[in-house]
Chain A
């Protein structure tokens, strides 16, 4: 097995050991042997064309957060496209290693070792989509990486061991944290007990409501970010929103599976979710998580029809304010900067709404980081990078926190529990003089409600 460039993965390479996530894992070939043929039918003709469209200009390498930490060419989108193109051309077509012409030209077979190395580098990517936005030929990079990951999963070379755990748990427990389904809605009950919310959110599957609040796995299970759910509930209550949650019946949106290349499992969970959501008869699904939003709004739409609108909490809050149902009256004398979550900004195109919402909060002095909107620097948490390469994620996060600190802001605001987690890692590592806040926290404060904050949660635990 190739352990040479395996520096950030705890030195292990037992990729094939946790079999359940990798269909071909049991029969995965020894590294020295020829690699199995990659199922390129999983890609589209356009994606195969994209491999040829790369002009190797290297603009992507100037921006890629992973390459910024680990300066190796295979980590750049250019390197990845070049290498994958070379691999499939040695496996398929008139010049493959097995063809007459290929043999004549001395083309080498793709070895399992080579594919294994490629897979490791393929997963050193947060799917942040920065490369697409700077690519002069507009290659749809992340979509391409995800389909290539699908080929890699199919042949048993991915995901990486630490990521397999995440995938396995999502499949077995419907959440990537491996928590029991029965405790998904616990946060609401605990919050009610501690008087942090007035009522436990109602079960929308039993009692119909206009709005489905899709809490998401991170806000549901991670006590460090449970204030996202609590604040959202308090905003909804104050504005008199007719809403409900799925409680223990809520399942992961499947983002983890899709980003990691387990398309079959994603399809299953996506189909089940679409069926469950559509049956509720809600007019709007609101979520506080950028990853869930991107997945449900963009990816689900490719698998089925959704009979409701999908909004991020911050978009929905703007609607409430405009309808006069919510008033932000308490000035918050704070200097605030905003981090665009990759899956909310670049992936879903929501750049203006968070800025509009912040402008509606009185007393806030808003400052942009130098890299914002389309060029917002990724926090490194997405795409399996945090689980696959935690050290790298930590470094990437610290860079983003540095961007924020440089603005002189005291609050770093975002709209995604996963970014919250990701950036918090950087803040803690640097002991940075800036406070991480979900945007709902500021809304609560401006409404004159006591916001649930990260500290509250910590206090409550003590």
Chain B
């Protein structure tokens, strides 16, 4: 890794990659704005009481963060969602941190040194694999419930499938990218911190698959992630933002 090359996470920051990121984020923002504009057409009163901050805080912790209301109904459903939720949030935190450091701190700064070469990067290696696996585990339960067991209460429309497919594709392609990256000898000393990626890496190598398609996989992973981001306001992923709002507002109104 040349010290002077700007990196985009582990990947060289090309203009093309930046362009796609910007387009995805802009589409997402545009989608959010059109949705907000639609909501604003509702003229009836939304709240009939002043906001009760204690109730908001309480329900945020129990029903948004820990989702005790789902646990009360079913452990499997809670486990499924908690894994998707925590896994996704963990990956988002990791990616955001790395993106932030790549772009906003000098390559020789302590942050960059630590998180790209030092102890920080080892933490992130383990972190990424743990949360990635957690999310995939949750998604596996969701897919089994929806398409294999076909739980009676689930009724599937395209929106449900797209969200599951996109998230699963993000998780799997992420691990594949990591596995190919770890084939590069420069990571040999630290590769096992990425225990899941490294296991996959070895399996791929054993199957005679080399890292030739690394760039293509990184692009696939990036593009799928960007599609996910661009469609947030139109997809089921929108509930990540909207459901918590409804949960806390209702708690406040009924407090």
Contact = CB atoms under 8 A, between A and B. Distances in A.
A138 B43 contact: no
Interface in B148-184: 151, 153-155, 157, 159-160
Contacts of B15: none
B219 interface: no
Contacts, number: 106
Contacts of A46: 42, 46-47, 246, 249
B48 A137 contact: no
B238 A93 contact: no
Interface string B28-55: 0000001101111111111110000000
Given A44-B45, A48-B39, A302-B48, A58 B153 contact: yes
A78 B46 contact: no
Given A44-B45, A45-B46, A138-B246, A56 B34 contact: no
Contacts of B39: 45, 48-49
Interface string B236-255: 10110011011101110100
A139 interface: yes
A155 to B, nearest CB: 16
Nearest to B155: A73
Contact of B238 (A41, A42, A52, A61): A52
Contacts of A93: 34-35, 37-38
A192 to B, nearest CB: 42
B56 to A, nearest CB: 12
B1 interface: no
Interface in A28-50: 40-50
Interface string A64-104: 00000000010010110010000011001111000000000
Given A46-B47, A94-B34, A82 B243 contact: no
Nearest to B151: A58
Contact of A138 (B45, B154, B155, B247): B247
Of listed B41, B42, B155, B157, residue having the most chain A CB within 10 A: B42
A59 B242 contact: no
Given A40-B42, A302-B48, A56 B155 contact: yes
Contacts of A52: 35, 238-239, 242
Contacts of A400: none
A49 B245 contact: yes
B47 A59 contact: no
B38 A48 contact: yes
B135 to A, nearest CB: 17
A171 interface: no
Contact of A55 (B43, B46, B151, B236): B236
Contacts of B249: 46
B14 interface: no
A53 B242 contact: yes
B243 A53 contact: yes
Contacts of B153: 57-59, 61-62
Nearest to B40: A45
Interface residues on B, range: 35 or more
A88 B153 CA distance: 25
B34 A48 contact: no
Interface residues of A, number: 40
Secondary structure at chain B's binding surface: helix, strand, loop or mixed?
helix
A44 B46 contact: yes
B113 interface: no
Contacts of A45: 39-40, 42, 46
A55 B243 contact: yes
A48 B41 contact: yes
A34 to B, nearest CB: 19
B43 to A, nearest CB: 4
B167 to A, nearest CB: 14
B44 A49 contact: no
B202 interface: no
A78 B155 contact: yes
A56 B43 CA distance: 26
A47 B44 contact: yes
Nearest to B73: A59
A140 interface: yes
A89 B73 contact: no
Contacts of A62: 153
B70 interface: yes
Contacts of B247: 137-138
B67 interface: yes
Interface in A127-159: 134, 136-140, 147
Interface in A325-355: none
Contacts of A139: 246, 250
B96 interface: no
A248 to B, nearest CB: 33
Interface string B66-94: 01011001000100000000000000000
Contacts of B243: 53, 55, 137
Nearest to A73: B155
Of listed A41, A73, A88, A137, residue having the most chain B CB within 10 A: A137
Of listed B35, B44, B236, residue having the most chain A CB within 10 A: B44
Interface in A4-21: none
B44 A92 contact: no
A437 B16 CA distance: 75
Given A55-B243, A57-B153, A138-B246, A44 B42 contact: yes
B69 A55 contact: no
Given A44-B42, A44-B45, 11 more contacts: A41-B41, A46-B42, A48-B41, A55-B236, A57-B153, A61-B155, A76-B155, A79-B155, A92-B38, A136-B63, A140-B250
Q: What 3 pairs between A and B have smallest CB-CB spacing?
A: A58-B153, A46-B46, A138-B250
